[in-house]
Amino acid sequence: MTRGHDVVLTGRFEETDVKRYFHLPFAVPAGVRQLHVRYSYNDQIDSDPLIGGGNTLDIGIFDERGIAPSSPGYRGWSGSEKLEFTIDAEWATPPYRAGPIGAGTWHVMLGPYKVGPRGCDYRVEIRFDAGRPREDRIVLRHGPPRRPRLPAAEPGWIRGDLHCHTLYSDGDSWPSEMLVAAADAGLAFLGATDHNSVAHHPEYGGGGGALPIVVPGVEITTYHGHWNAWGTQRWYDFREPTAAGVSTSMRQALADGAFVSVCHPKPFGPPWEYAETRGFPAIEVWNGPWERLNSASLAFWEEHLRRGDRVVALGGSDTHLLRSPHHAKLGQPTTWVRIEGDWTSHEPRLAREAVLAALRRGDAFLSASPAGPQLYLTPDPRGALLRVRSAVGTTLALVSDAGSIHAEAIDSDEYERRFELSRGIRYVRAQILDGTGSILALTNPLWLSG
């Protein structure tokens, strides 16, 4: 065995290289069972988009099967979260995938997310069979979940959260802990959307029983915006941060049968900068607490609705941390979906499909928490029927393509009312607001014509 580092890759990025990916080849000899990668660079700063003046360098790795789009050789990407990691035939540092270390040309992928005025000099050291022991894991949350008492939902409706992160990207907990926490929050399903990772899927499994149903997903995290794909076990290319590159990846996901949404199109979301991209069936209109600029996402969604694009609104808490206080909490917001058939008898795979089918139909509303408010908007022969629960003391508003068409205070927990709608209205949707104008719940639109 060679002493020191078996491979050292060095180089420099300039400010003109920013937000692009570079693939550095290196040879892996036959018979290797473990690979350890460590990298360093000067003037390192946090990935927070508000911080500048230095360098943030993202890293990922591809094995001998190659770097083509959707290549099975993709072993993972850890952004700038980890300065070293191990990939072993039997185990790997999350978010990397364990498995055979094939002989041939591998590639370290580097992405200079930020390059400061002094440039970014990097050094990547790779060791073969350094004998790193399997990393310990600490699991704090286990045992049977304690589901809270919540106001009952109408028959067929279940609540869930579509967006969260674990140690398989930049979260602080394991998938099993996220599932227990989601059950403790009262959720029936959980979308598992680590950044550019598929290695979390086997660990999550299908869920069910006392735990939420798992809707497997991935947050495709690019340098100019993020999008989620659910109902897929594949990764989708994130390396071409242009409208054309994103459109190609999205089309691939949709062709695979995945359901797709643009994530958090609002300032500091980070925002969605692919104005030319079309064809996504959903928008994450509500990400984390409403006050965190979600009105910008709502405006983005309404632009689409007024154009006649029947894009579905959904929500996600974007929970990253279970071990320390954070503004993002599971179920805040909650996405409610209407399931066809008997949910309780569904096995996990069918239950997952039922959740995805409801999202595709737009049979969904959003609320600030699993406790509500609940907002059921259904078609009626002459307009719409609306039922509201858990919203006493709030304000109800009806919004159409022509603007606000009705507002009233809610003073009963049994609110039910029929609305006749004038001709020419293309859609109507409902929302609940608190005294400060923050949204507490919102429905998808009821499309009335065409």
Please give the residue ranges that form the binding site for Zn ion (CB under 5 A): 226, 263
Instruction: State which residue has the least CB distance to Zn ion.
Output: 226
- Residue 398 to residue 406: CA distance in whole angstroms: 5
Q: Which helix (H) or strand (E) holds 227?
A: strand 225-230
Minimum distance from residue 269 beta carbon to Zn ion (Å): 7
Minimum distance from residue 172 beta carbon to Zn ion (Å): 16
Residue 161 contacts residue 192 (beta carbons within 8 Å): no
Minimum distance from residue 275 beta carbon to Zn ion (Å): 18
Between 196 and 443, CB nearer to Zn ion: 196
Between 165 and 429, CB nearer to Zn ion: 165
- Residue 6 to residue 354: CA distance in whole angstroms: 50
Between 226 and 352, CB nearer to Zn ion: 226
Between 311 and 328, CB nearer to Zn ion: 328
Beta carbons within 8 Å of 275's beta carbon, 6+ residues apart? 243
Beta carbons within 8 Å of 350's beta carbon, 6+ residues apart? none
Between 73 and 216, CB nearer to Zn ion: 216
Minimum distance from residue 17 beta carbon to Zn ion (Å): 23
Minimum distance from residue 431 beta carbon to Zn ion (Å): 24
DSSP codes of every residue in 196-216: T--THHHHH--B-TTSPEEEE
- Residue 235 to residue 305: CA distance in whole angstroms: 29
Q: Look at residues 356, 412, 418, 358 and name the one whose alpha carbon lies nearest to residue 386.
A: 418
- Residue 392 to residue 371: CA distance in whole angstroms: 13
Between 190 and 263, CB nearer to Zn ion: 263
Minimum distance from residue 449 beta carbon to Zn ion (Å): 35
Between 236 and 427, CB nearer to Zn ion: 236
DSSP codes of every residue in 110-154: EEEEE--TT-EEEEEEEEES--PPPPP------SS--PPP-PPPP
Residue 305 contacts residue 275 (beta carbons within 8 Å): no
Minimum distance from residue 116 beta carbon to Zn ion (Å): 24
Minimum distance from residue 226 beta carbon to Zn ion (Å): 4
- Dihedral sign, CA of 433, 369, 224, 236? negative
Between 62 and 227, CB nearer to Zn ion: 227
Q: Which residue's entry shows tokens 């399903």?
A: 189
Minimum distance from residue 225 beta carbon to Zn ion (Å): 9
Give the burial string for 406-436 (b: 16+ CB within 10 Å, else e): eeeebeeeebeeebebeeebebbbbbbbeee
Beta carbons within 8 Å of 94's beta carbon, 6+ residues apart? 166, 167, 168, 199, 200
Between 159 and 226, CB nearer to Zn ion: 226
